[in-house]
Structure 1
């Protein structure tokens, strides 16, 4: 009987306890978007929960009474709310968190080849997230870089619209482009390497200005761009981004992930189509190259013991582009009836990282790419193939206050084309072996001071031994002030036809005066960062840099000595790139963000001619530039406004003899505005206007392509180009992100 009474008591007590409970559900968001994986705790209780990928949460079984709910998430200030809970309540609770700018710093790898906090890196690295590029949606990363201070996408051909990336005024071949740290975008692919990388797969982009040859070898002379792709384990389950413009351009980015055994797999697809010939400047040539492009990407990340790294990634790229006279058709390809420039590109890439199963941190990295290009420029045929294989082994080890990185790398390049460089019976494919070893030691002298010393030795099978030292000093005055000094050397082995398509397009002939010797550079860079935090949790960051780079054996394309030729030669003298840059980043607790930058630079050559030293500003290089991006959220509506733009100073332009076109460009600017609506379910609608000022280069010139009515005449020239030909246009797009 007593046992029965005791059991009845327990049942009644349990029922009473159940009846006295309640449920709290709701969401956690920031000003801009939901906050996933935030932690919700009840003070002095064991109840806890976390938000899902959409920022939603639910806590059941809460006892009656007065409770304080506290929310915390990485990168945000904690928040709390107090509720009086009654029996059977189902209460909706919403939190809006403010960003904690003081305690959120990006992780970077490009400066030192290892993951470090951005502000702890001895080498200045600029980081740009997908959110930055979404402020001005573009169909390729090449175009997206137009809003990065000190970086300018340069179109090199007025017809085929191929281009490269200028960093601090230096041409594209001086910029090394990496994907996940692998040098798979180089030489022949320089003008296409930043097209077709699905934006939905990009985690961030890191930019290093100045030579990095001591770590990355050849081509990292002016700087490097490292595109870091997302980790399959943390990427969204599905993402889609589709937009179109009033010029009938269509761009589609898709990304999705799935599990395959012990591997997480991330896939992506980029498709771009533009088939609407326009001639708004009335020169009888297409204003913008017509393109049909598809790129597929897949990345595998394998789960291993002790969290050791093993990843594989591949990409396939195909593009069909053409530009020329408005009545050109594929049937005219390679003929003399109607002038056109048609380029078929096929390219595939493979890259991977494998951490060896040993006690020490040994990482083996490898990549391979094959590039096949079938091009015709009027009657000129350019058929080229390139294979680049790369492997690298690094040891990362800490010994007391020394952070060591030791590595060995080898790169093999095979290049073959039908030009005088390698074509014909007497010419053989160009084969270059480039083995090298490097060591880097970052020494922590104290809490405020650290130094980094590096040295790389390479042996080029054509040019012999190459030594590139490096030195960096970091002085952390406090958490708000940082000074960094970097110095080093860089080298570049030139492959003319793979880098400068102006040598193939148009009616000019190419003349090479001698065997081109490798270029070498010496650089020093001083960087100062100042952070300011207000009582309202607003954050202001000032970033100032000054640099000086000196070049030996600089290779210059001479457009002026002869109107029908482009003459290439090593400079009999020296070249200099120097300047100052400043960046301002403002982030308010209310969600307003301002990014602005200004760069002042002087890029020139000094050449000895008959005993005289002649100083001349570099062609197609602006003396100054500015960029900005302003984001203003409209509270409680889900809408935000982005205003982005750039402005460039006058640059020297390549003109012909008795040419009526301007010898220098005017000051010009590209400005854009966008309105975005973002729902809490990962869906966005956006639209706006590009090139608000309707600026095109034909405004200040009687024509752009000389002699357009007679393209095979002596005056035919496509090199007079410095800005895009697309004027004011609208765009509209939609995004969907499913995180979990």
Structure 2
């Protein structure tokens, strides 16, 4: 009996000693953050556990042998490993790194901030309209970027002329003159040339659009009090690629665009060609155009030379020719007579050269030199009044990017020139609008990765303008990552803008009776604060992201029309004695389930003219704006989209309020191997300002126009053929 008991105790003790345990610490592969709630399971034994708040787990009662252990976590790829027991991981935890699913791990690189970093690691908030979004919008309006920008979060695209159809865009509720428009980091569209800029840029060659909201003059100099919009072009592809699109609207508009790209070991080339035309169209049958007549052509070849894998030279030329007419439709389609006299005719030519040299060193440092020269000529005639002028501007920059373990530092200098010469023989103005500015500047920027969670970006710029003196622009931005899902940014930046007569107010009157800037005028200066919170959640095919941003900008010495001169029919500018302030918030939500994607963007904007106690609200600025887009894409054959846009009431110059309105659009695209067919309807319910009021006021021989706050063209349907050959 004693022997039996002894053998039983011996068997039990041996069995107990053969039971093993397994310890693990599960982390995110990229951020190394612990993953809480990861399932750890041994299928063959039907035992497992879940990681705790520190990402740790322990599984006990594992017999001797070799077993496969599975690690699974929502939004991450499944991971398996084989462990033989007994194992050292009974006492020491095995570290397991899980890789996030492709929907989360896609990285977006940003160039506007010069450090060329991943968007999730940049302290200043940059919004990117990626290649997929750009591609979708090209089929809807391939002739220019006005619709592309209009559907970008927080940007308001606004028609400013009832005759020429000119449009401007606003960031954070501020007029378009406060936003700097770049193409590949070149500030090409300012002053006189900014008037038709959105209408003269076809989008077919764009890779993405990068938007910085809030004061950003420290990056590229003045003009960026409200922010920066940078249009980033596609580069040469290693295999030949050719894209073309042909578009026709039911209101007699036509577009044809082509983009070619290719490179070998030494030479690369891209070439954009675009031609758009539109017949004059009177939508509401009042005898005046709601859509102007125009013909527009753009040519943009670029040559890339690769000295080796580390050095590249780019040379480019961009030319644009625009001819448009608006006004009395009888006079446009036939000829002016004694009754039908009013026609506004605008002809412009734009020629731009671009040069960029980039040298990348083995240690990651980058030397960059770039230069652009821009010549813009425009002639405007309104009945018997003429205006003509030529703008000549240039931008040169030399910068050096230094990369170390903790720092990305940029040092640089630049030179900006901008001159305008009014053609006195044509304009016959008593006071021509001539000016000649040049601004050398130096700048420095540092991105400091203090920890994996905490990144600080500091920068400063010192500009010297020949007429308005010195501008010192220190700024900072902070990024803190609470986890791999939740992060926050906060930033401060000053800004400035040189005085200019070339605003939407002057454009609306075709520069007639516009006085030049007086010698005692001050530059506009600003202070801006921005704060945002970002949250992301992924689970298999489901994704949810939320960005909540808050903004505040104060502008001192704002350039405003002088009320006494307006009463005399003359536009003369003066500095406001009190500030112009804008504040508000932007809520951006994205929800994706497999191929179904919903975007919701709501912007609240409150712009106050502290200098005007009688009319304190900035005109044509809706407090409430809502954009919603629902899209579905079957990558094999179909893509569809439904859009809804709400624009709230806007104050007008007489302090009355406009109506609020919705516009709805629908798009469907049938995909084939090398081409696709696109059908699109904009403004399905035909919302038009002319349904609420008369836009053209008598006398029709010399009419005045109401401010434009709603669409004039109404419902527009188009069919496009898109061709892709690779």
Shorter-normalised TM range: 0.7 to 0.9
2:146 is aligned, of 142, 145, 166, to 142
* 475-484 or 417-426, which deviates more: 417-426
Once the two structures are superposed, residues 212-233 of structure 1 have per-residue CA deviations (whole angstroms, 9 ceiling, x without a partner) of: 1111101111011100000113
The aligned residue for residue 218 of structure 1 is 222
The aligned residue for residue 198 of structure 1 is 202
Once the two structures are superposed, residues 22-43 of structure 1 have per-residue CA deviations (whole angstroms, 9 ceiling, x without a partner) of: xxxxxxxxxxxxxxxxxxxxxx
The aligned residue for residue 47 of structure 2 is none
3-state SS, counterpart of residue 199 of structure 1: coil
Whole-angstrom CA distance in 1 between matches of 2:361 and 2:682: 53
Question: Which runs of 5 or more structure 2 residues have no equivalent in the other structure?
Answer: 1-74, 80-99
3-state SS, counterpart of residue 502 of structure 2: helix
CA gap of 1:498–1:422, structure 2 versus 1, over 3 A, is farther
The aligned residue for residue 265 of structure 1 is 269
2:368 is aligned, of 355, 363, 366, to 363
The CA deviation at 1:382 is: 1.2
Higher Cα radius of gyration: 2
CA gap of 1:133–1:696, structure 2 versus 1, over 3 A, is farther
Contact 1:547 1:578 in 2 (8 A): yes
Contact 2:134 2:208 in 1 (8 A): no
Contact 1:346 1:373 in 2 (8 A): yes
1:706 is aligned, of 683, 697, 700, to 697
Aligned ranges 1:529-608 → 2 under 5 Å: 529-534=534-539, 536-557=540-561, 562=567, 564-589=569-594, 591-607=595-611
Whole-angstrom CA distance in 2 between matches of 1:297 and 1:618: 38
The aligned residue for residue 132 of structure 2 is 131
Whole-angstrom CA distance in 2 between matches of 1:108 and 1:635: 26
Whole-angstrom CA distance in 2 between matches of 1:438 and 1:264: 31
CA gap of 1:162–1:651, structure 2 versus 1, over 3 A, is same
3-state SS, counterpart of residue 116 of structure 1: coil
| 1:240 to 2:218 alignment | no
Once the two structures are superposed, residues 58-115 of structure 1 have per-residue CA deviations (whole angstroms, 9 ceiling, x without a partner) of: xxxxxxxxxxxxxxxxx99899xxxxxxxxxxxxxxxxxx9721101211122x2121
Whole-angstrom CA distance in 2 between matches of 1:465 and 1:421: 36
Contact 1:311 1:354 in 2 (8 A): yes
The aligned residue for residue 350 of structure 1 is 353
The aligned residue for residue 294 of structure 1 is 297
RMSD: 3.0
CA gap of 1:554–1:145, structure 2 versus 1, over 3 A, is same
The aligned residue for residue 449 of structure 1 is 454
The aligned residue for residue 11 of structure 2 is none
Whole-angstrom CA distance in 2 between matches of 1:426 and 1:627: 44
Whole-angstrom CA distance in 1 between matches of 2:196 and 2:307: 35
Aligned ranges 1:164-179 → 2 under 5 Å: 164-179=168-183
CA gap of 1:247–1:466, structure 2 versus 1, over 3 A, is same
Contact 1:391 1:409 in 2 (8 A): yes
Once the two structures are superposed, residues 382-423 of structure 1 have per-residue CA deviations (whole angstroms, 9 ceiling, x without a partner) of: 101011111100010124522211110001112111479997
CA gap of 1:614–1:573, structure 2 versus 1, over 3 A, is farther
Once the two structures are superposed, residues 542-575 of structure 1 have per-residue CA deviations (whole angstroms, 9 ceiling, x without a partner) of: 0110000011001123679638454532111111
Whole-angstrom CA distance in 1 between matches of 2:104 and 2:361: 38
The CA deviation at 1:687 is: 0.3
Whole-angstrom CA distance in 1 between matches of 2:336 and 2:464: 42
Aligned ranges 1:599-638 → 2 under 5 Å: 599-607=603-611, 616-633=616-633, 638=637
CA gap of 1:130–1:446, structure 2 versus 1, over 3 A, is closer
1:378 is aligned, of 375, 380, 383, to 383
CA gap of 1:287–1:119, structure 2 versus 1, over 3 A, is same
Whole-angstrom CA distance in 2 between matches of 1:507 and 1:214: 34
CA gap of 1:573–1:254, structure 2 versus 1, over 3 A, is same
Whole-angstrom CA distance in 1 between matches of 2:421 and 2:241: 42
The CA deviation at 1:333 is: 8.3
Matched residues, number: 626
| 1:339 to 2:338 alignment | no
Contact 2:585 2:605 in 1 (8 A): yes
Whole-angstrom CA distance in 2 between matches of 1:213 and 1:546: 19
The aligned residue for residue 97 of structure 2 is none
The aligned residue for residue 30 of structure 2 is none
The CA deviation at 1:353 is: 1.4
Whole-angstrom CA distance in 2 between matches of 1:694 and 1:419: 44
Whole-angstrom CA distance in 1 between matches of 2:501 and 2:431: 19
Whole-angstrom CA distance in 2 between matches of 1:335 and 1:202: 47
Contact 1:545 1:580 in 2 (8 A): yes
The aligned residue for residue 725 of structure 2 is 738
The aligned residue for residue 477 of structure 1 is 482
Whole-angstrom CA distance in 2 between matches of 1:425 and 1:381: 13
Aligned ranges 1:55-70 → 2 under 5 Å: none
The CA deviation at 1:498 is: 5.9
CA gap of 1:300–1:214, structure 2 versus 1, over 3 A, is same
CA gap of 1:77–1:288, structure 2 versus 1, over 3 A, is farther
CA gap of 1:556–1:717, structure 2 versus 1, over 3 A, is same
| 1:497 to 2:502 alignment | yes
Once the two structures are superposed, residues 293-341 of structure 1 have per-residue CA deviations (whole angstroms, 9 ceiling, x without a partner) of: 0101112222222422322222110010010101224996899961111
The CA deviation at 1:365 is: 1.0
3-state SS, counterpart of residue 496 of structure 1: coil
The CA deviation at 1:723 is: 2.3
The CA deviation at 1:152 is: 1.2
Contact 1:675 1:686 in 2 (8 A): yes
Once the two structures are superposed, residues 324-363 of structure 1 have per-residue CA deviations (whole angstroms, 9 ceiling, x without a partner) of: 1012249968999611110111011111210258775211
Contact 1:648 1:667 in 2 (8 A): yes
Question: Which runs of 5 or more structure 1 residues have no equivalent in the other structure?
Answer: 1-74, 80-97, 656-661
Whole-angstrom CA distance in 2 between matches of 1:107 and 1:651: 37
The aligned residue for residue 25 of structure 1 is none
Whole-angstrom CA distance in 2 between matches of 1:407 and 1:506: 37
Aligned ranges 1:632-711 → 2 under 5 Å: 632-633=632-633, 638-655=637-654, 663-679=656-672, 681-701=673-693, 703-707=694-698, 709-711=699-701
Contact 2:238 2:262 in 1 (8 A): no
CA gap of 1:336–1:208, structure 2 versus 1, over 3 A, is farther
Once the two structures are superposed, residues 229-271 of structure 1 have per-residue CA deviations (whole angstroms, 9 ceiling, x without a partner) of: 0011358611111111100111111111345882111111111
Contact 1:157 1:505 in 2 (8 A): no
3-state SS, counterpart of residue 551 of structure 1: strand
Contact 1:364 1:394 in 2 (8 A): yes
3-state SS, counterpart of residue 617 of structure 1: coil
| 1:466 to 2:467 alignment | no
Whole-angstrom CA distance in 1 between matches of 2:337 and 2:467: 34
Once the two structures are superposed, residues 463-503 of structure 1 have per-residue CA deviations (whole angstroms, 9 ceiling, x without a partner) of: 01111111111101121111000101010012213654446
The aligned residue for residue 53 of structure 1 is none
